[in-house]
């Protein structure tokens, strides 16, 4: 399978995503610059974490205007799987591919630590077969506080589009389990069609035994399985 | 009668004799920009004028050393064509004035020192020293510095994997922010700061030049006084986003054969980078200052030469490859501009719209800069520590004392700090902050690991600068060996008060000797470093603080060992034997004892044996955790071992290595490690072969920490209650 | 009485955010040779300065000096929303 990893100026998890796909999964991954109009026939598009354009103004606000984003939107429009991680999630919301916005953490500081998330909601290319599981995945962000208006939140919940939720290690929801104040403890959502997923946690940081945790690998394996079924677009 | 008034010379930090030397060198009075150039290059910060005569005594060679001091960073051989490139540098004064930007630009500067050598940065560490937590300014400084380090490191995408934070009233008016960067490069792709090849063009790459930090280098070399408020507009602002682009652009440029030399514009900006590059090559350089990309209108040659605007590099391009260089850099949206040329004149020349405004022999600026053998005098000997004045535990129970010690901000968990740093980006962090005695990151493209430890016990250095400095090296070496790596080399950051005071200069000289002794005993040469003098305010100086950053190498990163007990039923042993002392200890500070007495003995041969024993134990897979006994002594170290995810307790018998219980429990002294193992006989066998004494402490079990001494209980508490004090002590002090 | 305090980096201090935004505006076809970013604080003042624009301006200035602006690198302007204003 071919993974296109979008690289904006200031992206800093692009190399990590490429590395996991190539060296852990044994599949093909390549970076696509922000200023080109050629995704080069990928099976999956990853929008990685980092500080695109320095995250100045608002996270993702400048990146959404990059030429490559029109191609990402077209790929998503054709049903292609698009996964935005952390800053990638922020970019997808700014670009209108996912609803809502990510605001500053309520504690007003950057947080880097392991967190538990429950996989739930409808099946997506990233989460297929994992519903009900509790995964331990690192977060590393300053703006992960998901918010949306009441109507949007109700629609997301009603349609099973909340696909990752912060929980305690035992899977229960609690205020302490929510690191950033996100509405309804939301850590990740998908679009109406289910092919575009955004999440704040970093699965690429926990996908190999050397790093002491392979929970993230399970999400990448789900992507591979989905790609094997979906074929090339 | 000189051309420039005494007031002007004073503002440039030049003495009358130094000025006379300038006139003698030039055969005339210097122009205004020339005066600026001399002032920054002859400042303590750039010229090392007070320290150079002493730095010579440091060992800088060894089988692993590829590049020692003198370049932008040191380089060691990591095997298989890989190298590790690292350096530590201070940003103390700017961080005191504007903590967030000061610390952020400190991180940016040390990163540039490393990637200018061709290295991909893979890790950052920060050794921080703040004043008394109760001092009104301390919380503000802690928050600002941590925010600054985080905001820069997180954005630039280099993990901050370790460091340390210590509080002591001696840093009330002079905090220390020492940042260390570690990078990796192929041995055949290391770049040096050289201006070679007559006619090669000189390129300016990166951010535009503004009026930031003009005279920053001079500021860093002056002690603070009431007037330092006025220096505020000099503060530089860092842009980690541009730094990230600069890293990628430089590494891309370096992957092709375009460059002859490269250096970042750090302290004293364009002036020091160009003059130092020319000096290393014995060449000359001409800079057309009017071509420098400018951020503001009306900038003068003086300002352009001295500006410390951040995120800028100077590159000497191979003639004929200019177009490709411009193409690559432009793709990253960075300014790239040919501003000068390499000559063989041996002169540093600046022109302004065709007119020469600076013309100075390069040698006068760098190699022949002033060099002082400042007077030295030892301070009066310290009175002995009065142990009778120490509180005696009622009924011999030291549990409350241990609990209070664990809550002291210097010893408490630093999670509040490292939670704000991205310590996982680049997916190479094998031991995260707080997990092991040293940080461990993978050596990219290999199964090997790089272990890094930073630190220095300032109080011990105050009691004995020689022994304290040696302890800093020894402790870092033991830390690195604890996780399973062989100590390879160090970088240092020598923070001292005013060198114009003989007692300070004596302590500096002693510290150099201590570093040299330890580096020789442990085979860890010094490959890079930095000196920061004038850390004093209105006559009150900091403790001598020769910070050490040690890098070790390990064959398999996956075998890195943490410091906490992972399980119940493990045998716990104490390796190494020292006579623990309370002088200079955290316990003594905690009970308000004066800082006096003799620093604990340090046996470097024994430390070397301990390091070798640990490496042999790792090689045989005999230990499952290892933690050195440092600040806070044995009881604190044992408590820390129970603070892992397993939260397993311990029943232990403390060794009778001192007469008093408080000395046994809280006395300090380098050269002891607590290990847990499933094969105590195997551990004892290897240790006895290495000549390392072993004391069987006890076994991991239950949920309590119980320590006895000579059969009497001295500590008994649940792990949970001790952990709670330790976990909240830091945030409680600074929030 | 209500006041407004605008805090901006001093002239000459690099505005990294403004620089990035100016570049982004350029790539969208706008011409913006320089952008300086600032923050605006709208403050509802207490009764002690009711009907006292001069007093309100002094209070706002004090707030800006002590907390809202970083004197090391920022300048500020205060505005009493009834008309009087001051700057520093």
Closest CA of chain C from A121, distance in Å: 37
SS3 B503: helix
Of A20, A54, A112, the CB nearest to B421: A112
Please determine, for residue B431, whether its predicted confidence score (pLDDT) is greater than 80.
Answer: yes
State the pLDDT at residue B228: 44
pLDDT number for residue B222: 55
Residues from chain A that touch C16, judged by Cβ atoms under 8 A, are 54, 56
**Chain A residue with minimum CA distance to C16:** A56
Q: What is the mean pLDDT of residues B564-589?
A: 97
pLDDT tens sequence across A60-87: 999 999 999 999 999 999 999 999 999 9
> Is the Cβ of C22 closer than 8 Å to some Cβ of chain A?
no
Considering only residues B565 and C48, tell me which one the structure prediction assigns the higher pLDDT: B565
A171 backbone φψ class: left, alpha, beta (φ>0; ψ -120 to 50): left
CA C20, chain centre distance (Å): 20
What residue ranges do the domains of chain A occupy?
2-228
- pLDDT tens, position by position, A5-60: 999 999 999 999 999 999 999 999 999 999 999 999 999 999 999 999 999 989 99
Is B211–C10 a contact, with Cβ atoms under 8 angstroms apart? no
Q: Does residue A37 carry a catalytic annotation?
A: no
Average pLDDT of the segment spanning B3-22: 91
Q: What subunits make at least 3 CB pairs under 8 angstroms with C? A: A, B
Specify the pLDDT at position C84.
46
The Cα B366–Cα B291 span in angstroms is 25
Q: How confident is the model at residue B369 (pLDDT cuts 50, 70, 90)?
A: very high
Q: In what order do the strands lie in the sheet with B65-67?
A: B65-67, B74-79, B82-90, B176-186, B120-130, B160-167
Whether residue B101 and residue C73 make contact (CB cut-off 8 A), yes or no, is yes
Under DSSP, the state recorded for B65 is E
Cβ-nearest to B212 among C14, C23, C70: C14
Per DSSP (E only), the strands in chain A are: 2-7, 28-33, 44-47, 82-85, 101-103, 111-119, 134-141, 145-147, 162-167, 186-190, 196-199
Q: Give the Cα separation of A208 and A204 in Å (integer).
A: 9
Q: Assess whether A34 carries a catalytic annotation.
A: no
- How far apart are alpha carbons B580 and B634 in whole angstroms? 9
**CA distance readout (Å), B476 to A9, B437, B471, B644:** 37, 9, 8, 21
Domains of chain C by residue range: 2-81
Question: Which segments of A68-126 does DSSP mark as H helices, in order?
Answer: 68-77, 87-94
Sequence-ordered list of residues with C-beta below 8 angstroms from that of B683, at least 6 positions apart, any chain: B571, B573, B575, B617, B622, B623, B675, B677, B694
Size of interface B-C (CB pairs under 8 A): 41
Question: Would you say B516 and B203 are in contact if contact means Cβ atoms under 8 Å apart?
Answer: no
Smallest CA–CA distance, residue B360 to chain C, in Å, is 30
Residue A230 is predicted with a pLDDT of: 62
Which of B184, B252, B424 is the best substitution to test chain A (most A C-beta atoms within 10 A)?
B424
Write down the pLDDT at residue B234: 65
Contacts A–C by Cβ distance under 8 A: 19
Q: What would the mean pLDDT of B545-556 be, rounded to a whole number?
A: 98
| Sign for the pseudo-dihedral over CA of B495, B496, B498, B500 | negative
Query: Which of B45, B543, B618, B627 is the catalytic position?
Result: B45
Annotated active-site residue in B12, B82, B91, B288: B91
Using only C-alpha atoms, chain C has a radius of gyration, in whole angstroms, of 16
Question: The complex's ipTM?
Answer: 0.97
Read off the pLDDT band of B230 (50, 70, 90). very low
Residue C70 is predicted with a pLDDT of 85
Q: How far apart are alpha carbons B543 and B288 in whole angstroms?
A: 45
Minimal Cα–Cα distance from B101 to chain C, Å? 10
The reply to whether C17 touches chain A by the CB within 8 Å rule is yes
Q: Cβ(B403)–Cβ(B717) under 8 Å?
A: yes
Tens of pLDDT, residues B619-675 = 999 999 999 999 999 999 999 999 999 999 999 999 998 889 999 999 999 999 999
Specify the fold of A2-228.
Rossmann fold (3.40.50)
Single out the residue of A96, A128, A117 nearest to residue A226, CA to CA.
A128
Structure tokens at A139: 């977060």
Q: In this complex, is the C-beta atom of C26 within 8 Å of any C-beta atom belonging to chain B?
A: no
Q: How much is the average pLDDT of B285-295? A: 96
Quote the pLDDT of residue A233: 44
Percentage of the residues of chain B whose pLDDT score is greater than 90 = 91
Q: Which residues of B touch A211 (CB under 8 A)?
A: 424, 427, 429-430
Of the residues A57, A65, A91, A104, the best mutation for testing chain C's interface (the one with the most C CB atoms within 10 Å of its CB) is A57
Mean pLDDT across chain C, nearest whole number? 87
CATH number of this structure's domain C2-81: 3.30.1280.10
State the pLDDT at residue A232: 41
Residue B143 exposure: Cα atoms within 13 Å on the Cβ side: 12
């Amino acid at each position: 399978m071919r993974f296109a990893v979008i690289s904006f100026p200031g992206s800093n998890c692009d190399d990590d995503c490429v590395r996991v796909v190539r060296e852990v999964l044994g599949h093909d991954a390549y970076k696509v610059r922000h200023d080109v109009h050629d995704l080069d026939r990928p099976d999956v598009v990853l929008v990685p974490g980092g500080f695109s354009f320095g995250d100045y103004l608002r996270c993702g606000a400048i990146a959404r205007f990059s030429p490559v984003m029109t191609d990402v939107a077209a790929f998503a429009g054709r049903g292609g799987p698009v996964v935005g991680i952390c800053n990638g999630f922020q970019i997808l919301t700014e670009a209108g591919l996912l609803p809502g916005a990510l605001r500053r953490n309520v504690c007003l500081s950057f947080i880097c630590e392991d967190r538990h998330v429950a996989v739930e909601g409808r099946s997506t290319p990233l989460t297929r077969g994992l519903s009900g599981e509790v995964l331990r995945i690192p977060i590393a962000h300053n703006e992960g506080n998901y918010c949306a208006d009441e109507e949007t939140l109700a629609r997301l919940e009603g349609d099973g589009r909340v696909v990752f939720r912060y929980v305690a290690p035992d899977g229960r929801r609690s205020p302490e389990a929510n690191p950033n104040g996100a509405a309804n403890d939301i850590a990740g959502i998908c679009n109406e069609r289910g092919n575009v997923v955004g999440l704040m946690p970093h699965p690429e940081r926990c996908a190999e035994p050397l790093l002491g945790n392979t929970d993230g690998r399970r999400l990448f394996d789900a992507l591979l399985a989905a790609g094997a079924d979906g074929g090339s677009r | 009668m000189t051309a420039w008034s005494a007031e002007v010379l004073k503002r440039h930090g030049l003495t009358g004799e130094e000025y006379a030397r300038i006139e003698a060198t030039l055969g005339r009075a210097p122009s205004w920009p020339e005066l600026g150039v001399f002032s920054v290059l002859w400042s303590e910060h750039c010229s090392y004028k007070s320290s150079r005569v002493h730095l010579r005594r440091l060992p800088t060679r060894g089988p692993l050393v590829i590049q020692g001091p003198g370049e932008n960073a040191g380089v060691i051989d990591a095997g298989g064509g890989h190298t590790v490139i690292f350096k530590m540098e201070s940003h103390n004064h700017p961080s005191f004035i504007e903590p967030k930007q000061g610390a952020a630009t400190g991180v940016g500067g040390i990163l540039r020192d490393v990637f200018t050598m061709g290295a991909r940065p893979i890790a950052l560490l920060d050794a921080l020293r703040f004043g008394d937590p109760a001092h009104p300014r301390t919380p503000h400084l802690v928050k600002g510095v941590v925010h600054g380090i985080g905001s820069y490191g997180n954005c630039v995408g280099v993990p901050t994997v370790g460091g340390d934070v210590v509080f002591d009233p001696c840093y009330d008016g002079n905090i220390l922010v020492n940042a260390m960067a570690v990078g990796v490069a192929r041995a055949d792709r290391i770049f040096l700061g050289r201006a070679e090849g007559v006619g090669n063009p000189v390129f300016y790459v990166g951010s535009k030049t503004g009026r930031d930090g003009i005279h920053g280098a001079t500021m860093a070399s002056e002690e603070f006084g009431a007037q330092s408020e006025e220096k505020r507009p000099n503060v530089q602002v860092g842009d980690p986003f541009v730094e990230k682009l600069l890293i990628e652009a430089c590494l891309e440029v370096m992957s092709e054969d375009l460059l002859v030399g490269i250096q970042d514009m750090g302290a004293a900006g364009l002036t020091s980078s160009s003059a130092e590059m020319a000096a290393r090559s014995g060449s000359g350089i001409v800079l057309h200052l009017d071509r420098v990309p400018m951020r503001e209108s009306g900038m003068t040659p003086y300002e352009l030469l001295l500006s410390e605007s951040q995120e800028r590099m100077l590159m000497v391009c191979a003639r004929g490859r200019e177009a490709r260089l411009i193409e690559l850099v432009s793709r990253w949206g960075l300014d790239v501009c040919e501003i000068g040329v390499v000559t063989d004149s041996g002169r540093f020349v600046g022109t302004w719209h065709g007119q020469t405004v600076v013309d100075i022999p390069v040698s006068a600026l760098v190699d022949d800069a002033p060099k002082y053998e400042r007077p030295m005098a030892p301070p009066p000997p310290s009175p002995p520590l009065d142990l009778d004045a120490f509180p005696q535990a009622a009924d011999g129970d030291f549990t409350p004392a241990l609990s209070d010690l664990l809550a002291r901000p210097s010893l408490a968990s630093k999670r509040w700090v490292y939670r704000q740093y991205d310590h996982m980006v680049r997916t190479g962090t094998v031991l995260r902050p707080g997990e092991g005695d040293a940080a461990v990151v993978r050596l990219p493209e290999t199964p090997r690991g790089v272990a890094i430890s930073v630190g220095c016990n300032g109080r011990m250095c105050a009691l004995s600068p020689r022994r304290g400095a040696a302890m800093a090296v020894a402790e870092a070496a033991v830390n690195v060996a604890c996780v399973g790596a062989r100590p390879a080399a160090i970088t240092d950051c020598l923070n001292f008060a005013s060198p114009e005071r003989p007692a300070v200069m004596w302590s500096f000289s002693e510290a150099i000797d201590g570093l040299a002794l330890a580096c020789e005993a442990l085979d860890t040469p010094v490959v890079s470093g930095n000196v920061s003098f004038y850390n004093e305010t209105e006559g009150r100086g900091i403790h001598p603080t020769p910070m050490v950053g040690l890098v070790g190498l390990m064959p398999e990163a996956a075998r890195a060992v943490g410091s906490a007990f992972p399980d119940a039923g493990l045998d716990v042993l104490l390796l190494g034997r020292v006579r623990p002392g309370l002088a200079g200890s955290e316990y003594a500070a905690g009970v308000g004892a004066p800082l006096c007495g003799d620093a604990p003995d340090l046996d470097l041969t024994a430390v070397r044996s301990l390091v070798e024993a640990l490496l042999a134990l790792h090689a045989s897979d005999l230990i499952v955790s290892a933690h050195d006994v440092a600040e806070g002594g044995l009881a604190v170290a044992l408590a820390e071992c129970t603070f892992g995810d397993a939260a397993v307790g311990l029943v232990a018998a403390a060794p009778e290595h001192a007469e008093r219980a408080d000395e046994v429990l809280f006395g300090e002294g380098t050269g002891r490690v607590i290990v847990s193992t499933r094969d105590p006989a195997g551990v004892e066998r290897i240790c006895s072969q290495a000549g390392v004494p072993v004391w069987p402490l006890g076994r991991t079990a239950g949920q309590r920490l119980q320590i006895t001494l000579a059969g009497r209980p001295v500590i008994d508490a649940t792990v949970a209650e001790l952990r709670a004090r330790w976990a909240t002590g830091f945030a409680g002090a600074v929030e | 009485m209500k006041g407004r305090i605008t805090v901006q980096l001093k002239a000459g201090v690099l505005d990294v955010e403004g620089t990035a935004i100016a570049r982004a505006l350029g790539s969208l076809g706008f011409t913006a040779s320089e952008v300086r970013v600032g923050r605006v604080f709208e403050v509802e003042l207490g009764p002690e300065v009711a009907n006292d624009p001069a007093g309100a301006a002094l209070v706002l200035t004090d707030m800006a000096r002590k907390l809202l602006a970083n004197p090391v690198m920022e300048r500020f302007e205060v505005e009493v929303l009834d008309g009087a204003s001051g700057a520093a």
